[in-house]
């Protein structure tokens, strides 16, 4: 068991670094100069100077600033080495910005004029960029969001609670609704309940989650005069109100998953119900509920669990559109906004983080699988 867990953990780490590598190259195959594209988006200054492009390259991690003192501009040339060291300890990007804007710079109490400071931008070689990116993503340092100029991670933490609560609610709904529908479909095969269950589950697969979300909103608007709340309420402030807000988005996300889980449960149960040990259980005269839950479900659950884990990624995809439809301040909405704004730093971070979540979820499912399945547990 331990060997298996360690092996899976290591594989997970390899996958995550692979993800980081892919994200790195994805952002560098942008046709044209990403710095130029990021600058040329509407909503930013129309005139693009060489200085701005250089500054953007620094912000994107494509270039770095080399700072030094312009020694000719000093009358008194003593103690300049200490001053230079203090200057170099500052954030290169901030120094570059103040030099470009002509603002005086405060270095440890000494006010420097822009012409006394030299800030040159150097392209970072691709390999160094790559190593830096890998190291930074290990520390969850993704630079500043280009849109609001705050650390991406801080932005992330602002949007995370919404997304997390929808995911948890939706996962709960999926299991609570999907398993019983699948089980009933299987034990009443080809009867009315089965057809009903199958229609529900294939409808879940066929109705895009944004369409379900839109139908809910439409229904509420037309029949109850309700509008999607504009102000989001965090869970810890008003749990009940938050649940009210999260219920329908979570349902829209879960709807498709319920279909998948119900179908998987049904086919898995049908297979197990034909096994000899189930026939034995029946012939022992056990109650239907005992046979179904204790003998059949226990074994039929494993493939369902695997599918549940694999579906996690799809559920997150559904989340993006559902958050958009309900206008919720979650990570999905954040990602789409970042894409529209060409906020590469935020896109990179979001892509990397979601991949980690999916990998972690799959890992947990695999471990749970091993736990439930003695054939894996004891090898």
Partner 1 sequence: MPGSTPAYATHRSWGERLRLFGPALVRFVRSKPLGAVGGLIVIVMFLVAVFAPWLAPYSPEEFIDGGSARLHPPSWDYPMGTDNLGRDILSRVIYGAQLSMLVGLLSTLFGTGLGALVALFSTYAGGRWDLIVQRLMDILWSFPSLIIAVVIIAVLGRSTSNLVVAIGIVVIPSTARVVRSTVLAVKETEYVQAARAAGASHLRIIFRHVAPNCVAPYIVIATASLGGAIITEASLSFLGLGVPPPAPSWGRDLFGSAQKFAELAPWMPIMPGIAISVTVYGFNLFGDAIRDLLDPRLRGSR
Exactly one of 10, 148, 202, 287 binds partner 1 (CB under 8 A); that residue is 202
| Smaller CB separation from partner 1, 107 or 217 | 217
Exactly one of 80, 83, 336, 376 binds partner 1 (CB under 8 A); that residue is 336
Closest separation between CB of residue 356 and partner 1, Å? 8
> x/- binding map, residues 285-324, to partner 1, per CB under 8 A?
----------------------------xxxxxx-xx--x
CA distance 219 to 234: 25
Closest separation between CB of residue 207 and partner 1, Å? 5
CA distance 159 to 163: 7
Under rule CB under 8 A, which residues in 238-267 are in contact with partner 1?
266-267
CA distance 334 to 157: 11
Closest separation between CB of residue 167 and partner 1, Å? 11
Q: Which range, of 12-20, 74-82, 169-177, 296-304, touches partner 1 by CB under 8 A?
A: 12-20
Closest separation between CB of residue 97 and partner 1, Å? 26
Task: Please state the three-class secondary structure of 304-341 as a single string.
Answer: HHHHHHHHHHHHHHHHHHHHHHHCCCCHHHHHHHHHHH
Q: Does 193 bind partner 1 (CB under 8 A)?
A: no
Tell me how far apart the 2 most distant CA atoms of the chain are, in Å: 103
| Smaller CB separation from partner 1, 336 or 368 | 336
CB atoms within 10 A of CB 332: 25
Closest separation between CB of residue 202 and partner 1, Å? 6
Q: Does 196 bind partner 1 (CB under 8 A)?
A: no
Please report which residue ranges of the chain form alpha helices under DSSP H: 2-28, 34-40, 50-60, 80-88, 92-101, 126-138, 152-187, 192-206, 209-219, 239-273, 276-283, 288-290, 298-326, 331-341, 344-372, 374-377
Exactly one of 3, 46, 127, 222 binds partner 1 (CB under 8 A); that residue is 222
Closest CA to 343 of 149, 82, 183, 159: 149
> x/- binding map, residues 340-359, to partner 1, per CB under 8 A?
x-x----x--xx--xx--xx
| Smaller CB separation from partner 1, 56 or 117 | 56
Could you please report the per-residue DSSP string of 153-186?
HHHHHHHHHHHHHHHHHHHHHHHHHHHHHHHHHH
Closest separation between CB of residue 11 and partner 1, Å? 8
| Smaller CB separation from partner 1, 94 or 227 | 227
**Phi/psi zone of residue 325: left (φ > 0), alpha (ψ -120 to 50 degrees), beta?**
alpha
Closest separation between CB of residue 95 and partner 1, Å? 31
Three-state DSSP at 79 gives coil
Closest CA to 309 of 165, 191, 211, 174: 174
Exactly one of 103, 176, 218, 364 binds partner 1 (CB under 8 A); that residue is 218
Exactly one of 48, 80, 175, 214 binds partner 1 (CB under 8 A); that residue is 214
Three-state DSSP at 369 gives helix
Helix axes 2-28, 126-138, angle to 10 degrees: 130
Token duo for residue 224: 């109850």
CA distance 323 to 327: 6
CA distances from 81 to 115, 173, 249 (A): 17, 65, 60
| Smaller CB separation from partner 1, 176 or 218 | 218
Under rule CB under 8 A, which residues in 357-376 are in contact with partner 1?
358-359, 362
Closest separation between CB of residue 220 and partner 1, Å? 10
Q: Does 119 bind partner 1 (CB under 8 A)?
A: no
Closest separation between CB of residue 312 and partner 1, Å? 8
Exactly one of 6, 22, 103, 134 binds partner 1 (CB under 8 A); that residue is 22
Q: By the criterion CB under 8 A, which residues form the site for partner 1?
A: 11, 14-16, 18-19, 22, 26-27, 29-31, 202-203, 205-211, 214-215, 217-218, 221-222, 266-267, 270-271, 313-318, 320-321, 324-325, 335-336, 339-340, 342, 347, 350-351, 354-355, 358-359, 362
């Amino acid at each position: 068991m331990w060997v298996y867990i360690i092996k899976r953990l290591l594989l997970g780490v390899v996958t995550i670094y692979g993800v980081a590598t892919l994200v790195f190259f994805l952002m560098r195959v942008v046709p044209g100069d990403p710095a130029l594209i990021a600058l040329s988006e509407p909503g930013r200054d129309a005139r693009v100077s060489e200085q701005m492009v250089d500054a953007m390259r620094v912000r994107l991690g494509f270039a770095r600033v080399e700072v030094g003192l312009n020694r000719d501009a000093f009358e008194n040339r003593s103690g300049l080495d200490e001053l230079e060291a203090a200057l170099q300890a500052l954030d290169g990007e901030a120094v570059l910005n103040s030099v470009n804007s002509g603002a005086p710079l405060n270095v440890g109490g000494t006010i420097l004029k822009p012409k006394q400071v030299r800030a040159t931008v150097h392209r970072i070689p691709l390999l160094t960029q790559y190593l830096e990116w890998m190291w930074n993503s290990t520390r969850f340092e993704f630079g500043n969001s280009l849109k609001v100029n705050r650390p991406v991670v801080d932005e992330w933490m602002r949007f995370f609670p919404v997304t997390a609560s929808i995911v948890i609610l939706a996962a709960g709904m999926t299991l609570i609704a999907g398993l019983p529908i699948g089980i009933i479909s299987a034990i009443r095969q080809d009867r009315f309940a089965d057809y009903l269950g199958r229609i529900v589950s294939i409808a879940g697969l066929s109705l895009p989650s944004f369409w379900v979300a839109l139908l809910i909103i439409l229904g509420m608007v037309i029949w109850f005069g309700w509008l999607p709340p504009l102000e989001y309420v965090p869970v810890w402030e008003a749990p009940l109100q938050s649940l009210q807000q999260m219920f329908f988005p979570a349902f829209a996300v879960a709807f498709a998953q319920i279909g998948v889980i119900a179908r998987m449960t049904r086919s898995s149960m049908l297979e197990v119900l034909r096994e000899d040990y189930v026939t034995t259980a029946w012939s022992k005269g056990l109650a239907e509920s005992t046979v179904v839950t204790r003998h059949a479900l226990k074994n039929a659950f494993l493939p369902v669990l695997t599918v549940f884990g694999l579906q996690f990624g799809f559920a997150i995809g559904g989340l993006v559109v559902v958050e958009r439809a309900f206008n919720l301040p979650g990570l999905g909405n954040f990602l789409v906004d970042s894409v529209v704004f060409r906020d590469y730093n935020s896109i990179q971070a979001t892509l990397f983080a979601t991949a980690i979540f999916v990998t972690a979820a799959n890992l947990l499912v695999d471990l749970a699988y091993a736990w439930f399945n003695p054939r894996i547990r004891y090898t």
